Amino acid sequence: MSDEKTILSIQSFVTHGYVGNKAATFPLQLHGFDVDGINTVSLSNHSGYPIIRGHRMDLQEYETIMEGIRANNFLPSYRYILTGYINNADIVRKIRDTVDEVRKLREKEGKKLTFICDPVMGDDGIMYCKEEVLQAYRELLTFADFATPNYYEASLLSGIDVTDMKTALQAADWFHKQGTKGVVIKSFRTKEDPQKLQFLFSTVAAGGNAPQRFTGVVPYHEGRYTGTGDVFAALLLAFSHQQPMEVAVGKVMAALQELILATRKEGGDGASSLMSRELRVTRAVQSLLNPTTVVEVKPM
């Protein structure tokens, strides 16, 4: 049973485009994972477009779905819990109980659960969640094995403005202090080298030693892409299933570069429409599975 490829993935759903569970499920399935999705919202498209229609889950609906999953005894089957866009403080708080419940059920069977929390709250200075959600995430991160904030979310959560490696390290320490074992600050652009994106992976060994840090760079491609973080968290799960996290981080960075290039090649460059910048996940199968680009991940 060492190769249980099963995930409870709590994220958004959109009809058009690739964010949330729409962005995460296909890459994970390519890697052979069974993805049980809870769709925290079912919307026509992501929130960058001028018009959005659809439905947002409330706590009662979340609990109703959980009730069904529990009653059918699916809960102990989940090797991973992955969370993304939720934007509901009650549900974010409730995830702690879900993680607790699955962890206890699996412990009885001598099995492990890994909880990967992508604290989706905003990007590039724009917060698209409610203030109360931020506080709920601070509490939830206490129980996360891994967190994958973007630099803006790392700043919001830690209160440290992430603008360079020094501040990224301080923000990573905030996560560890909170209880998160591993944190990837997925990218930050410095004044010194705006053509590159730096990243930081910081991890604390079980013994509570000083954190181990890893870093690297990828080229910056002009423009804003949506869903990159959702594909990132999904692939981090997939690649780390059988490899050390620092190796996985390099592969994920490489896959994302190739995915963005594939999107640009089909017309989705920085200046193009939102629709053209939807990530072409279906056109980048080889990149998602086994990128040929090499991104060096250096210990610090």
Among 225, 234, 237, 281, binds ligand ADP (CB under 6 A): 225
User: Which among 18-26, 28-36, 122-130, 291-299 is the span making contact with Ca ion, rule CB under 5 A?
Assistant: 122-130
Q: What DSSP line would sit under the chain, residue for residue?
A: -TT--EEEEEEEEESSS--HHHHHHHHHHHTT-EEEEEEEEEESS-TTSS---EEE--HHHHHHHHHHHHHTT-GGG-SEEEE-----HHHHHHHHHHHHHHHHHHHHTT---EEEE----EETTEE-S-HHHHHHHHHHGGG-SEE---HHHHHHHHS----SHHHHHHHHHHHHHHT-SEEEEEEE--SS-TTEEEEEEEE--TT--SPEEEEEEEEPPSS--SSHHHHHHHHHHHHHTSS-HHHHHHHHHHHHHHHHHHHHHTT--TTS-TTTTS--GGG-HHHHHS--S----EE-
Does 229 sit near Ca ion (CB under 5 A)? Answer: yes
| N-to-C CA span, the chain | 35
* Span near ligand ADP by CB under 6 A; candidates 44-52, 60-68, 99-107, 226-234: 226-234
Question: Which residues have a Cβ under 8 Å from the Cβ of 252 and sit 6 or more positions away?
Answer: 232, 235, 236, 239
CB of 46 to ligand ADP, least distance (A): 11
**Ramachandran angles phi, psi of 283, nearest 5°:** -100, 5
- Check if 230 is active-site: yes
Stretch binding ligand ADP (CB under 6 A), from 16-24, 33-41, 66-74, 217-225: 217-225
Three-state SS string over 18-57 comes to: CCHHHHHHHHHHHCCCEEEEEEEEEECCCCCCCCCCEEEC
The reply to whether 123 sits near Ca ion by the rule CB under 5 A is yes
Residue from 203, 228, 263, 287 that binds ligand ADP (CB under 6 A)? 228
218 interface partner picked from ligand ADP, Ca ion, none, CB below 5 to 8 A per type: ligand ADP
Quick check: 186 binds ligand ADP (CB under 6 A)? yes
123 binds ligand ADP (CB under 6 A): yes
- Contact between 260 and ligand ADP by CB under 6 A: the answer reads yes
Nearest residue (CB) to ligand ADP, 136 versus 200: 200
Question: Which range of residues in 42-50, 234-242, 253-261, 277-285 is near ligand ADP by CB under 6 A?
Answer: 253-261
With binding defined as CB under 6 A, does residue 232 bind ligand ADP?
yes
Closest contact distance (angstroms) between CB of 229 and Ca ion is: 3
CB of 75 to Ca ion, least distance (A): 27
**What minimum distance in Å lies between the beta carbon of 207 and ligand ADP?**
29
Q: Give the residue, chosen from 48, 54, 76, 223, that forms a contact with ligand ADP under the rule CB under 6 A.
A: 223
The closest residue (CB) to Ca ion is 229
Interface contacts to Ca ion, rule CB under 5 A = 120, 123, 150, 229
Q: Hey, which residues are catalytic here? A: 230
Interface contacts to ligand ADP, rule CB under 6 A = 123, 150, 186-187, 197, 199, 218, 220-221, 223, 225, 228-229, 232, 253, 256, 260
